[in-house]
Each structure stands twice: as C-alpha cells, then as structure tokens.
Amino acid sequence: MKGKLVVRVIALVAAALLLVLIGGIGFVYLAPETATHTFLTIERKRSGLVRKEIDLPDGTHYVYLEGGQGEPLMLLHGFGGNKDGFTRVARFLTSHYRVIIPDHIGFGESAHPPDADYTPIAQANRLHSLAQALGVADLHLGGSSMGGQIAMSYAALYPTEVKSLWLLDPAGIWSAPESELRKIIRETGHNPLLAQNEAEFAQLFPFVMAEPPFIPRPMMDVLAQERIRNFDLEKKIFLQITADSLEGRISGMTIPTLIVWGDRDRTINVATAEILHRLMPNSRVIIMPEIGHLPMIERPQQSAEDLLRFRASL
C-alpha cells in the first residue's frame, strides 16, 4: 500500500510539472512579448538589479541597471548589445560591488540621436558625465567588445579616476591578425553583426558565441526588433568604432587590467590579447577554452570568479 502511494505521489508531481511545462511553452508562443519582458525582469531581479533612468544636464537620456553595494563597477556592453548582456554575470558581482550597467547612447533604451558622434572617445565622455550625475568619482570599468574599447578610451581620458579595467574580447586593436568577421566583411561586404530581419538576428548568436544560451525562437524574434529598428544607425556606429585605433592612447597605461578572451572568438582574433598585454604592462591575460566572443554570457560564473580573484590579488 505504501509503495502504491509513493508511485501515485510521483505520478501526480510529474503530471503537475508537465502541466507547468506545457503552460510555459504556451505562454512563450502565445504571448512572446510578455514572456520576454517577464524573463528579463526575473533575470534582473535574480541579479539584484533595478532598471533606472536619468537625464544628464545636457538632456542626454540614459537607461541603466543598478544594484549591489561596494565600490562602483560600471559594465559596458558591446556593439549591437544592451545592458542585459551583463545581467547574468552581475548575479555574482552585486554582493561585492555597486554595479552600474548603462545602455550606451545609440543602443537599447537610451537616447538614439541620429547625428551624434559615436566614436569611443565621445561615448567615454558621455559616460563620465553619467558617472558624475550618479555621484561616482572613482570606479572600476568592465567592457565587452566595443564596450571594452570605450572603457579603455575612458581610462585614457580619466586615468586617475579608473581603479581597474576588465576587458572581455575588447575592440580597438586593429593590428592583430584578421578575424573571421573582418575577412567576411572584406570579401563579401556583408557584416554578420548587423541584422535587418529576424533570421539574420538568429544567426548572430552562433556567430558571436560558442556556447549561446537557449532562447525560444518566439522570444528571439521579439529581441530582434530592437536591432532591426536600429539597423541604419548601427551601420554608422560600426564604421566609427572600427576607424578608431586605441594602440597609441593606451601604450604604457599602468591601470591594473584583466584581459579575458574566448579562444573561439570569430569576431576579434584572440591574438589581440597578447598585443594588449604588451601595450599595458600592468595587465594579466586569461584565455577561456571553448568560448566565443562573449564570455560573460557564455560562462558568467567563471567570468565573475576570475574577476574577483584578480581584484583580490592586487
């Protein structure tokens, strides 16, 4: 009798879980926009992040995520991304830092002025104004891809205000061997980082990540709309960031720097890490095996732990 009861309980639990699963799948397919918003809200809450907005004195409108306590750590997303690119890794950092993750001007929910200067120096100056508006004098800076290029530009402009740098496959060092991305653009004129439709957006994920997280296609199509609407502006921004070389500005920079690279990065050649290391004498390099261009999304916990170990060693 007892055995039959156990089997019955197990069957009821399994049936309940199946109903929850079916309900969740139905929710994603019948209301993908609501499902996507709900998922992002849950992810932010799990990481201790709150969405905030601010207008700078010159009228520039920023939307950002903030949470945690401790020394300020500003995290800068890459080209085509937005603030939620750092949500997963922030879960392991908000107990150590006051984490601030803005949408860059031109991306996400922040302002998109069509004729603005989108060079890394211009973006760094805007972020410095944002930091001042948030009452932040000195900070740690982390950046992925274009965000790393902007972080290094910020450090070159305001070296006494940056305590450390965390660079994840950063852009801006163009003397490295040609990457797969650059070869495709050179040979075909097509930029795989831009998306004019949902199909092109879906192809982005396996290109920039070796281990992309699973996202149901209806939710991916919702996320694609931001990129599709921003297509023309992103073409302009891409030209500005790829025309900007950092090597002269950061040569000899002594700010403590952790350089992280995925060894399967197809966007920026992993050999760039060694060039950066030579340019920045107070830097360390971590090459992550079987990882692509976005370590903080592909391996969020490991990325955070590497950063915390680096900071503890200083």
Locate the domains of the chain by residue range. Answer: 32-313
List the catalytic residue out of 145, 164, 179, 283.
Answer: 145
For residue 150, the model assigns a pLDDT of 98
List the catalytic residue out of 47, 77, 153, 303.
Answer: 77
For residue 30, the model assigns a pLDDT of 80
77 a catalytic residue: yes
For residue 16, the model assigns a pLDDT of 38
Closest CA relative to residue 168, chosen from 312, 292, 314, 40: 292
145 a catalytic residue: yes
Q: List the chain residues with pLDDT less than 50.
A: 6-7, 9-24
For residue 9, the model assigns a pLDDT of 42
DSSP codes, 226-260:
HHHHTHHHHHHHHHHHHT---HHHHTT--S-EEEE
**DSSP SS3 for 268:** coil
For residue 94, the model assigns a pLDDT of 98
CATH superfamily of 32-313: Alpha/Beta hydrolase fold, catalytic domain (3.40.50.1820)
- In sequence order, the 6+-apart residues with CB closer than 8 A to the CB of 232 are none
Number of Cβ atoms within 10 Å of the Cβ of 181: 19
For residue 18, the model assigns a pLDDT of 38
Burial class for 23, CB neighbours closer than 10 Å (0-12, 13-18, 19+): exposed
Report the distance separating Cα 253 and Cα 282, nearest Å.
Answer: 8
For residue 70, the model assigns a pLDDT of 97
For residue 31, the model assigns a pLDDT of 87
